[in-house]
């Protein structure tokens, strides 16, 4: 997994530096972005035992890559340049046609940045997209785990791995109904732990949950800071982080709270959306744009739709009319989503980040 993550980081650096080339040059995308990732996954691109580019199939069709194991075709990969929308029905139908006529269970669509795994024989068209990842905006661990599912060593058990992942997700959702339930479970365990040594300890349920929720948020803040420090070590840019003194309302102790980055969105009609909470700015912006316009873009983060008509059992969502907006993302990812919406819908928004001291 570490080798995959290392390659992904190198690929991201190349995309940032040479994005203009990759927008129009599919061959550059194939040789410089896609093939290095296929190689690290065990598909040796220079060896026809593993991979054959532009190989005509039995039906006269020419997919971009045919991946083989033990002499048998196991996966079809279609490559596009960065300007192509992988959710385009014509592109998906093209891949589906290649896979269906070859009797292949799975196909891959990629533009080097986004990768989409497609299941050929799924009855419900909505269920045919197994997962899709964006190596620039999704967490690198999630991307590496998803891509490793079709590694050369795993391709024979891909269907089993996907079923196992689905069972784990369903089990998790059954155990944890919402983020509030996580707070309730940890709060109860915390109280039991304290009372095992301090049986006379008393605290109101609301104060206990407030304290627990604060601790969970601190934990995620620490993770963000550690990830930022790692990014700096790798030469990535990072918004400067400051700290302000804050008082714990329960134990009256002082702690350092991260000064959070916020978002400002300006529309062409001069409307400015700039709320104290990033999530409020994010949701209000999508509301003004119109969730019905964002839905067809099929934007996902960590495998969950940004705009959906179905409520997710675990991830945080805000409701706008009949639509559910996925907000369980970092500020950086929310900015990336808004930029993607802005670009695809040609809204001419001005999206800026800022901090309040």
Residue-averaged pLDDT of the chain: 82
Rounded distance between C-alpha atoms, residue 100 and residue 57, angstroms: 12
The answer to whether residue 158 is domain-embedded is yes
Q: Is the pLDDT at 125 greater than 50, yes or no? A: yes
Q: How far is CA 115 from CA 43, 112, 130, 303, in A?
A: 16, 7, 11, 11
Given this model, what pLDDT does residue 247 score? 38
- What would the mean pLDDT of 51-59 be, rounded to a whole number? 75
Mean pLDDT, range 81-102, rounded to an integer = 81
Here the tokens at position 302 are: 């960590």
Same-domain pairing of 208 and 345:
no
Same domain, yes or no, for 16 and 152? Answer: yes
Residues 6+ apart with CB under 8 A from 340: 297, 299
- CA–CA gap between residue 337 and residue 328 (Å, rounded): 12
Structural domain of residue 152, as residue ranges?
2-167
User: How much is the pLDDT for 126?
Assistant: 63
Can you give the CATH number for the domain in which 26 is found? Answer: 3.90.1570.30
pLDDT for the residue 59: 59
Q: Does 298 reside within a domain?
A: yes
Residue after which a domain boundary falls, among 167, 194, 225: 167
In a domain, 33, yes or no: yes
Encode pLDDT of 108-121 as tens digits: 999 999 999 988 87
- Please check whether residues 65 and 200 belong to one and the same domain: no
* The pLDDT of residue 229 is above 60: no
- What's the pLDDT score for residue 321? 92
Whether residues 7 and 147 share a domain: the answer is: yes
Report the distance separating Cα 45 and Cα 269, nearest Å: 51
Same domain assignment for residues 127 and 235: no
**61 falls within a domain:** yes
Instruction: Specify the range with the lowest mean pLDDT, choosing from 151-155, 293-297, 315-319.
Output: 315-319
How is residue 116 written in tokens? 């989409």
Dihedral pair phi/psi, residue 104, rounded to 5°:
-95, 130
Q: What is the average per-residue pLDDT within 67-85? A: 90
Co-location of 155 and 217 in the same domain: no
User: 173 in a domain, yes or no?
Assistant: no
Q: Is residue 239 predicted with pLDDT exceeding 90? A: no
Judge contact between 53 and 77, C-beta under 8 A.
Answer: no
**Tokens at 284, concatenated:** 């209000």
82 and 216 assigned to the same domain? no
In this prediction, residue 63 carries a pLDDT of: 83
Domain boundary among 235, 258, 281: 258
Looking only at the bridges linking them, the beta strands covering 72-79 and 106-110 are parallel
| pLDDT tens-digit map of 8-51 | 999 999 999 999 999 989 999 999 999 999 999 999 999 999 99
Give the DSSP per-residue string, 252-292.
Answer: --EEEEE--EEEEEE-TTS-EE--SSHHHHHHHHHHHH-HH
Q: Are residues 40 and 149 in the same domain?
A: yes
Average pLDDT over residues 140-164: 91
Query: How many structural domains compose the chain?
Result: 3
Could you tell me the pLDDT band of residue 241, with boundaries at 50, 70 and 90? Answer: very low
Q: Tell me: the pLDDT tens digits for 309-325?
A: 988 766 678 899 999 99
Q: What is the percent of the chain with per-residue pLDDT over 70, rounded to a whole number? A: 82
In a domain, 25, yes or no: yes
Query: Distance of alpha carbon 281 from its chain centroid, rounded?
Result: 20
pLDDT band per the 50, 70, 90 thresholds, residue 100? confident
349 and 230: one domain?
Answer: no
Q: Are residues 188 and 237 in the same domain?
A: yes
Judge whether 292 and 276 are in contact, CB under 8 Å. Answer: no
Spatial distance between the Cα atoms of 203 and 212, rounded to a whole number of angstroms: 12
5 alpha-carbon distance from chain centroid: 15
Query: Percentage of residues in the chain with pLDDT exceeding 90?
Result: 46
Give yes or no for a contact between 59 and 103, defined as CB atoms under 8 angstroms apart.
no
b (16+ CB within 10 A) / e for 269-295 = eeeebebeebbbbbbbbbbebebeebe
* Long-range Cβ contact pairs of 138-145 (< 8 A, separation 24 or more): 138/301, 138/302, 139/302, 140/5, 140/8, 140/9, 141/1, 141/5, 142/302, 142/303, 143/8, 143/115, 144/1, 144/4, 144/5, 144/8, 145/1
Measured CA to CA, the distance from residue 203 to residue 194 in angstroms comes to 11
The per-residue pLDDT for 317 is: 85
pLDDT tens digits, one per residue of 200-226: 999 888 888 888 887 776 666 544 444
- Flag the least confident range among 57-66, 70-79, 285-294: 57-66
Helix (H, G, I), strand (E, B) or coil at 241: coil
What DSSP string describes 98-156? Answer: HHHHHT-SEEEEE-SSEEEEEETT-SSGGGSEEEEEETTTS-HHHHHHHHHTTSTTTGG
pLDDT at position 40 is 96
- Look at residue 61 in the predicted model and tell me its pLDDT: 65
State which of 208, 243, 258 marks the end of a domain.
258
- Same domain? For 49 and 150 the reply is yes
- The DSSP secondary-structure symbol of 76 reads E
Residue 174 lies in a domain: no
Map residue 92 onto helix, strand or coil: helix
Residue 97 and residue 142 in one domain: yes
Q: Do the beta carbons of residue 291 and residue 321 sit within 8 Å? A: yes
Higher pLDDT, 316 or 159: 159
């Amino acid at each position: 997994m570490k080798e995959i993550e290392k390659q992904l980081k190198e690929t991201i650096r190349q995309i940032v530096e040479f994005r203009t080339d990759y927008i129009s040059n599919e061959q550059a995308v194939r040789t410089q972005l896609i093939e290095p990732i296929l190689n690290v996954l065990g598909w040796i691109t220079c060896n026809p035992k593993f991979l054959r580019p532009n190989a005509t199939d039995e039906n006269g069709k020419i997919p971009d890559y045919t991946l083989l194991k033990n002499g048998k075709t196991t996966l079809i990969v279609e490559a596009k340049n960065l300007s192509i929308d992988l959710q385009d029905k014509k592109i998906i139908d093209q891949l589906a046609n290649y896979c269906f006529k070859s009797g292949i269970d799975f196909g891959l669509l990629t533009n080097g940045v986004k990768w989409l795994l497609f299941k050929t024989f799924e009855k419900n068209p909505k269920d045919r997209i197994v997962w899709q990842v964006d190596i620039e905006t999704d967490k690198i661990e999630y991307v590496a785990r998803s891509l490793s599912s079709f590694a050369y060593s795993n391709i024979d058990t891909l269907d089993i791995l996907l079923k196992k992942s689905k069972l784990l997700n369903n089990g998790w959702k059954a155990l944890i109904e919402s983020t509030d339930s996580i707070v309730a479970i940890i709060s109860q365990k915390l109280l039991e732990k304290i009372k095992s040594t301090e049986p006379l300890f008393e605290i109101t349920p609301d104060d206990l949950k407030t304290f627990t929720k604060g601790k969970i948020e601190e934990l995620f803040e620490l993770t963000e800071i550690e990830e930022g420090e790692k990014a700096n070590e790798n030469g990535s840019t990072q918004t400067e982080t400051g700290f302000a003194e804050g008082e714990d309302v329960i134990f009256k102790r002082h702690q350092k709270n991260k000064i959070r980055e916020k978002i400002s969105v300006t529309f062409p009609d001069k409307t400015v959306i700039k709320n104290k909470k990033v999530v409020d700015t994010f949701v209000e912006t999508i509301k003004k744009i119109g969730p019905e316009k964002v839905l067809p873009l099929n934007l996902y983060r960590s495998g969950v739709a940004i705009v959906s008509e179905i409520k997710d059992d675990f991830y945080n969502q805000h409701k706008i009319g009949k639509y559910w907006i996925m907000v369980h993302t970092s500020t950086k990812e929310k900015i990336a989503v808004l930029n993607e919406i802005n670009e695809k819908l040609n809204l001419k928004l001005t999206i800026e980040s800022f901090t309040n001291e």
